[in-house]
Amino acid sequence: MATYVLVHGAYQGGWIWKPVVERLRAAGHVVYAPTLDGCAERQHLVRAGITVATHAEEIARLLFYEDLRDVVLAGTSAGGMVILKAAEQARDRIARLAFVDALALLPGERVDAIVKRPAPNRVGDLTTGPTKEDAANRMFKDLQPALRTWALDRITPHPVAALEAPMVATTFWEQKWKASVIRCTLAANPPEAHQRRTAEKLGAPYVEMNTGHYPMLSAPDELTKLLLG
């Protein structure tokens, strides 16, 4: 039995991992899929000051207060930034990291310098997110219609500083980690070069899935097997 903590990306919540959570639990594992501050069912809590660093602190605190050890910490999309900072803060609790089509920025790098996408759609002063049309036709285009509708009903704007601010300072890249990098070849972002860099810097296995940016929805069986290692 292993313990998994699955961290979502921008515009998402813990809900995005639901099919994988069900499969991992059915296999006898302990699984947490928390929703980050200001996202999904916690969107009413959005406020200034939510950043990658505060999201990472949430995850590190979860590991502490739930007394979790030997954790497989997985992050997808912008959640990759969160797990690398959280791992730094909870070093002795991490068994393995999994970057699932994830952003893994160096300190000072910005998401917009790495990904190519339509101009962000600001939603008020505190959040940013895609239009429903963009989400349907680009982000979720490879999902089956019913699943696409289900996902579209659940996306929410993301705290802007947690996505657009420069990556926070971290000693993550100066340490050695057991990790894996999973790239989705049908997704334009994050680009292949970025994900290969992550694998190279970590000395980690690099695996490709022939699916879109949300493999936990489009290919949950295959992704679950990869996470099981």
pLDDT digits 0-9 by tens, 67-87:
999 999 999 999 999 999 999
Burial of 154 (0-12, 13-18, 19+ CB in 10 A): middle
Question: Is residue 122 scored above 90 in pLDDT?
Answer: no
pLDDT confidence band for 152 (50 / 70 / 90): very high
Per domain, the residue ranges of the chain are 3-117+158-228
Closest to 102 (Cα-Cα) out of 70, 76, 129: 76
Structure confidence at residue 35 (pLDDT):
98
- Torsion of the alpha carbons at 89, 164, 141 and 219, rounded to the nearest 10: -10
pLDDT confidence band for 156 (50 / 70 / 90): very high
Structure confidence at residue 123 (pLDDT):
78
- Is the pLDDT higher at 123 or at 146? 146
Q: How far apart are CA 14 and CA 172, in angstroms?
A: 24
Whether this model's pTM surpasses 0.85: yes
What sign does the CA torsion over 190, 5, 21, 25 have? Answer: positive
Structure confidence at residue 120 (pLDDT):
67
Structure confidence at residue 4 (pLDDT):
99
190, containing H or E segment:
none
Look at the block and give the residue holding tokens 């959280």: 86
Q: How far apart are CA 99 and CA 77, in angstroms?
A: 8
Structure confidence at residue 8 (pLDDT):
98
CA angle 68, 207, 75 (to 5 degrees): 35
Return the number of other C-beta atoms located less than 10 Å from residue 91's C-beta.
12
Specify the CATH class of 3-117+158-228 in words: alpha beta
Residues 35-44: pLDDT tens digits?
Answer: 999 999 999 9
3-state class of 122 per DSSP?
strand
